[in-house]
Structure 1
C-alpha cells in the first residue's frame, strides 16, 4: 500500500522504517513507486472529473450522488498519499505524513462505499424510511460523521505505525475490513431477496420500473462489495501470512498492492458509465 505497509509486514522494519533512504532501492520499492505513479496519473484526473460532473449537476441528481462525491474526494486524498509516498523514499520526514494519510485508504474509502450500499438498501427494502431521510441534510450528517471517523483512523494509523506496533496495525486493518464487508454483504443479500419478490397488485409497467430500480441497486451494491473484496482481501491475506509464518513473502505483497490501486478505479468508471461518459461501456 505504501512504505508504511511494507514496514508493518517486514520483520526487520523496526530497525529501518524511519530511514527509507538508508539503503539501496529494492524490487519492492521500485514496484511500489511505479504503482504510486500509476495511481496519481490516472486517479487524480478521473476522480476530479467525477467531482466536476457531480458538482455541476442540479436538483435531485446532486443529492442522490452526494456519497459518490465524498468518495471521490476521499480518493483524491488517497492519490495525495501516493504523492507523499514517492518523496518519502528519499526524505524520512515525510513518512509520518504517509502514515497519517493511510487512514483514508483503510477507513475512508470503504466507509463511503458502505454508506452508498446502505442508501440503496433503504431505497429498495425500506422505501418509506428512505424517503424520510432523503433530504440532503441527512446525507451531510452521515458524511460529516464518516469524515470524523476517517480522521480518527488516520490518527490511529499514525500513532500505531510510528510506535512500530505492526501486529496491532494488522488487526486494526482486518477488523475494519470484516465490519465493512459484513455490512455490504447484508445489504447485497437483502436487496437480492427483495429483487426476487414482486409487490402485490402492481401494474405491469409499475412492476417493471420497480424491478429496474431494484436491479440497479443490486448491481451497485454488488460492485462496491466486489470492490471492497479486491481492496482488502489480498492485504488481509498478506498480513496474516506474515503473522503466522513470521516471514515477509513478496509474492503476496505485489498482488495486494496492485489490487489496492485497481480498486480505486472501479467506482468512478461505474459512475461515468451510468452518466453516459463512457460510450464504449454504455451497454443496454
Structure 2
C-alpha cells in the first residue's frame, strides 16, 4: 500500500510522510486512486491565495483607517487577518511539494505555517468572548474595555501560536496530533456556546414589547451568520479527527484529512469577507446630500420607555452595536 509510509500517527496531521524516500513518491502519486479530494483541497488553497490575501489586506487597511472609531474586537480581528495573510501565501509551495517533490525538507516550512493556521481558532475564541461579555455581562465588559487588556490577551495568543507552530515544525513530539484535536474541540465548543448564548439573549423581547429592537435584530442576524460560518469551517475536523482510528490509513490520509483541512483553511477567505460585508459603502460626493436625507428619513426614534443603560438587566445598545 502506497500510504504505508504514514505509519506514525503523530505525523498524519502534520502533512508529512515519515519516509518518502522509501517509496520515492510524492503525496499526489500516493493518493492517485483518490485524486479528486486532493485537487479539491488545492483548489480551496488557491482560492485563499487569490481571494484571501487581498481581503485580509483590506481588512487591515480598514482597521487602521478607522482605528479612532474601532470596536473592541478589532484588535483580535486585526491579528487574525495578519495570521491568515501569511497562511494564504503558501499554496504555490504546497502545490510543488504535494505534486512534484519527494524531499521532506520543505515540510518544515509548511508545517510551521500549518501550525500557525491551526491556532486561528484561538483568536476567533477571543472575538466570541469579547462579544459574549459585551451582550451578556455589559457591566464587566465596560470595566474591562481598555485596549491594553485585549493587547495582553492577543500577545498571549501569539505566544501560544508560535510555540505550537514551532513544536509542529519539529515534528518529533509523540502523539502531538492530540494537541490539535483537543484545541479544535475546545475552541469549537467555546465558540458555539458563546454565539448561542448571544442569540438566546438577543431573542428575548423586552417586557411589553412584541417586536425586537432594530439594533438587536441586526445583531441577531450577524451573530447567526457568524455561528453558521464557524460550524461550516470547523465542524468537519471536529467531527472527523477524533475518529481517526476507525478509518483505514489510505482513506484517512487521502480523503478525510484533506476534506477536513480544506473546510477549515477556507475560513481564511470567508472571515475577512464577512468583516468587509459589514462596512457601509460611502456615498459619492454628488449624492452625499441625497444619502444624508435618506438616512435621516430612515432613523427610527425609540419609544420613551425603551432605555438602555449599563445599570439595567437589559443590554447596552452601544455594546450590541459592536456586533452589527
Could you say which TM-score interval applies, normalised by the shorter chain? 0.7 to 0.9
Moved more, 231-240 or 148-157: 231-240
RMSD, aligned α-carbons: 3.7
2:267 maps to which of 250, 253, 263: 263
1:59–1:278 Cα change, 3 Å:
closer
Partner of 2:123: 112
Partner of 2:51: 42
1:51 CA displacement: 0.8
Partner of 1:196: 203
1:35 CA displacement: 3.4
2:113 maps to which of 101, 115, 128: 101
Unaligned runs of 5+ in 2: 1-8, 284-324
1:252–1:149 Cα change, 3 Å:
same
CA contact (8 A) 1:104 1:154 kept: yes
Which protein is richer in helix relative to its size? 1
Partner of 2:245: 243
1:46–1:30 Cα change, 3 Å:
same
* 1:133 maps to 2:144: yes
1:30–1:164 Cα change, 3 Å:
farther
Between the aligned partners of 1:8 and 1:21, the Cα distance in structure 2 is: 16
Once the two structures are superposed, what CA deviation does each residue of 1:42-100 show, in whole Å capped at 9, x if it has no partner?
11111111111111114132655222111111111221343442343436322101111
1:102–1:23 Cα change, 3 Å:
closer
Between the aligned partners of 1:253 and 1:278, the Cα distance in structure 2 is: 43
Pairs within 5 Å for 1:174-253:
174-198=181-205, 211-249=213-251, 250-253=254-257
* 1:147 maps to 2:158: yes
1:36 CA displacement: 2.7
Moved more, 124-133 or 30-39: 30-39
Between the aligned partners of 1:8 and 1:198, the Cα distance in structure 2 is: 49
Q: Give me the TM-score of the superposition, normalised by structure 1.
A: 0.77
Between the aligned partners of 1:263 and 1:276, the Cα distance in structure 2 is: 22
CA contact (8 A) 1:234 1:252 kept: no
> 3-state SS of the aligned residue for 1:92?
coil
CA contact (8 A) 1:117 1:224 kept: no
Moved more, 180-189 or 217-226: 217-226
1:100–1:116 Cα change, 3 Å:
same
1:218 CA displacement: 4.2
1:157–1:227 Cα change, 3 Å:
farther
Q: How many residues align?
A: 265
1:275 CA displacement: 0.3
1:17–1:100 Cα change, 3 Å:
farther
Q: Which structure carries more relative contact order (alpha carbon 8 Å, separation 6+)? A: 2
Unaligned runs of 5+ in 1: 280-284
Once the two structures are superposed, what CA deviation does each residue of 1:216-235 show, in whole Å capped at 9, x if it has no partner?
55444444443333333323
Between the aligned partners of 1:172 and 1:61, the Cα distance in structure 2 is: 34
> 3-state SS of the aligned residue for 2:269?
helix
Q: Give me the TM-score of the superposition, normalised by structure 2.
A: 0.68
1:152–1:278 Cα change, 3 Å:
farther
Once the two structures are superposed, what CA deviation does each residue of 1:193-235 show, in whole Å capped at 9, x if it has no partner?
322335669xx8xx96xx4444455444444443333333323
Pair member with larger Rg? 2
